[in-house]
Structure 1
């Protein structure tokens, strides 16, 4: 049970009571279970978040009732029920738009090879709590009796903002290695730190993450990167050697720097770019694609580093190499094709702006920049701006002013032309009619020629476009039909 109630602890308990008072569904459900002779507790992340003053929309409960009994109790009460997790003792339901998940007390055993437990139901709330991942998640709240159950002193850990395990970290991580990555995710989401013994165990056992499927790793990594403090989560991944297994390109960016070959620490630079990209986000939700691109935009540098005469260092074509590396890694982590391509293209394009100089680009080059970025243009703007990490304020301000100029040129050309839909001035049907061609590769080649012409010269009037097409066709050996 919980220890003596201090003023801080009482305040946390009151926070749970106050939040639950705004959620009558919880008390209604608890009363239903109590009437049937069962116990029901709000548990885990729901209690933790309530104490942090941010109870989410979904509520997690645990109970001594077995799954068939849970089903019987929510039937007729819930607006909807699903039993996809019933093999693991979990029944889901909604009531008045509130989602709840109710799980029978667990006392699982793990085989030490996979992370799949042999599901065993328990009989006590304390037994259920001590098998959970971290002490801050090993608290329960008795809704009926308004009592906190805290056998591992999670309340103190929550106050200290420390992640520790109910059992030894070695035992906990051996049972489920994914908990190590969850620790880094909670650091990102909650701004917590990990206990020293937890950090030691993570570094010693990071190889165990190879037991986890790529899909599960990807989910945790995405949650980490979209947390409130992703930099802290990434730094923990590297320090605890989790990144060696999950994202080895990150620690590889910690290039050695000596007095003769000075250059920026690529890993530290990437973290700064990540922070600055996040500051530029303007949507209601974190931008996973932008954050991945910011973190990984320079992963091609280790493979392209060359020491130049005079002590310089170069990373020629690191954006090309980096884009290939991004595709390989994100595919291995089972990210969607759309995310893989978007992140890879941002990495590939992030250096293009540096050829702009002080405005030397032609309008044709600006059109190509916009066309190549396509739907990623807004993200590319943010990534390029975030990639400026120089401490020289004059240089930084000059770079930002230059990019301001590029954006103004894009706006001007977009106002004059439809840059969002750069298409040839003649469509495929007209190309076939003018050249007397059936559908086929030559029509596609003509279409591409006209698009390149459109990018170079901007919109052409119809007669000019026809004349250019006919001249091109003759050079290609295609004789247009005579009218």
Structure 2
């Protein structure tokens, strides 16, 4: 297919999938303005992956005029970006962003431009991040506009900048992370001059806020080819500024001596974890855990007799490092804790194959993982990267056995809801205690007992509680309850109580 035919097909596809674009263009044309579909919308139409729900437009109309034209048309309209020339609107389920032609100047200190409006679409396109995003469709004339050969770049699978990459990245260093993100999402290979500029200017990323870095990193990891994006970050030195624990793993030899280094091993684990996701779509928590599961190894490496290397407790150190890094990147608290928990637990399975796990150990494995158990299964399986097929098959069979054992115990004991056999209210009644820390200690004792022994009869649990209470010096309280006497609540400070399940 010729480029002309491809461009015409892209225009047809854009208007077929996005009828609101035609409708909106007619309003602008009636007011004497041109409206263009631009950027990712055009790129994705050429790639055959356009989604009608998110459309970007540019126009010669100034912001207040855009607002005047859009307000009576949209189902909802917002002006949060109007200072930068952008008005947002939703119509028929499509979200539209309409921006006045831009001809910005940057101070090269922050990434905030001095907003200047332009007069031509060509001048607007040259200031965009990459040539594949610098194409437009004139919705009035149906003309395809591609002054920087973005279509050719798409055909060649190359990521390049309309201006020089040095100018582009100096204006907005976030574009370097976007290059890695597009390598992951679209499978594009950055042009040599782009890679050189990223390596030379990697420190400029320090100008970008953690929130923006996190957003790009998450999109990169959830792309179709995250390994390519991570490798680009590491090879250009950007990772040393945004995720330094990852390049630090390049120097650490894997303890099984089956891989070039822990960094390479982690990339393989990431790919294998993605293969195990199934059809549920990208799982950011699982992918972060796969990439970062061994970041504790550099800090725990020790050389042992015979030339070997050990990484004792690297999962403990790794969980701490995960929390520190992901908090610095402003990830949500639940994401931080979920990834840290998976990193902390990922190594526990390796003691199972020796036949030493009791039912109690299996219960603890399930209880400690909680709702993360399905992800932990995938992470542990992905962590097997040995090239020895026999060993790999044996590990997978062993984990199959563990999952079968978990399923059996779950059916017998409802492992998803492992709780003490007596609740907090009954503990207080039996021991004559008001709400307070002693009730919490008793509750935790009974939970540990439940994990060790499995479900107990009510009388057995009561007897165990009374025995524990006597050892803790609470025997008189239990006796007082038996005799119907009131317990002296002044012995416990209720203000220091803990919330206990009722």
- TM-score range with shorter-chain normalisation? over 0.9
Residue matched to 2:379: 383
Deviates more, 1:458-467 or 1:142-151: 142-151
2:261 pairs with 260, 265, 270, which one?
A: 265
**Deviation per CA, 1:141-195, whole angstroms, max 9, x where unpaired?**
1112111111111111111111111111111100000000000000000000000
Matches within 5 A, 1:115-264: 115-255=111-251, 264=260
- Give the Å deviation of 1:284: 2.7
The whole-number CA distance in structure 1 between the counterparts of 2:462 and 2:354 is: 36
Residue 24 (structure 1) aligned with residue 19 (structure 2): yes
Alpha-carbon contact 2:11-2:144 (below 8 Å) kept: no
**TM-score scaled to structure 1, two decimals?**
0.97
1:133 and 1:341 map into 2 onto residues whose CA distance is 34
Structure-2 residue corresponding to 1:471: 467
In 1, distance between residues paired with 2:279 and 2:323?
A: 26
| Per-residue deviation, 1:18 | 2.5
Shift of 1:302: 1.1
**Could you tell me which residue of structure 2 aligns to residue 98 of structure 1?**
94
Equivalents in 2 of 1:48, 1:351: separation in Å? 43
Counterpart in 2 of 1:406? 402
Match of 1:302 among 291, 294, 298: 298
**Runs of at least 4 residues of structure 1 off by over 4 A?**
261-264
> Is structure 2 residue 45 aligned with structure 1 residue 50?
yes
Is the 2:296–2:314 contact (alpha carbons within 8 Å) kept by the matching residues of 1? yes
SS at match of 2:72: coil
**Structure 1 residue 256: Cα displacement:** 5.9
Is the 8 Å Cα contact of residues 262 and 313 (structure 1) preserved in structure 2?
Answer: no
Work out whether 1:420 is the aligned partner of 2:425.
no
Aligned CA distance change for structure 1 residues 309 and 358 (closer, same or farther; 3 Å): closer
Cα 1:283/1:447, change in 2 over 3 Å: farther
**CA root-mean-square deviation:** 1.4
1:360-375 pair list within 5 angstroms: 360-375=356-371
SS in 2 for 1:15: helix
In the alignment, the residues of structure 1 paired with residue 168 and residue 390 of structure 2 have an alpha-carbon distance, to the nearest angstrom, of: 52
C-alpha distance in 2, partners of 1:314/1:264? 16
1:171, 1:18 → 2: CA distance?
A: 33
- Aligned pair in 2 of structure 1 residues 24, 190: CA closer, same or farther (>3 Å)? same
- Counterpart of 1:445? 441
- Count of matched residue pairs: 476
Q: Could you give the per-residue CA deviations for residues 111-157 of structure 1, whole angstroms, max 9, x where no partner exists?
A: 01000001111111001000000011011111121111111111111
Q: Retained in 2: the 8 A contact 1:40–1:61?
A: yes
**SS of equivalent residue, structure 2 residue 251:** coil
CA shift for structure 1 position 15? 2.6
Q: Given that residues 258 and 386 in structure 2 are in contact (C-alpha distance below 8 angstroms), is that contact kept between their aligned partners in structure 1?
A: no
**Distance in 1 (alpha carbons) for counterparts of 2:217 and 2:172:** 16
TM-score (norm 2): 0.93
Task: Specify which of 348, 351, 361 is matched with residue 352 of structure 1.
Answer: 348
Choose 276-285 or 465-474, whichever is displaced more.
276-285
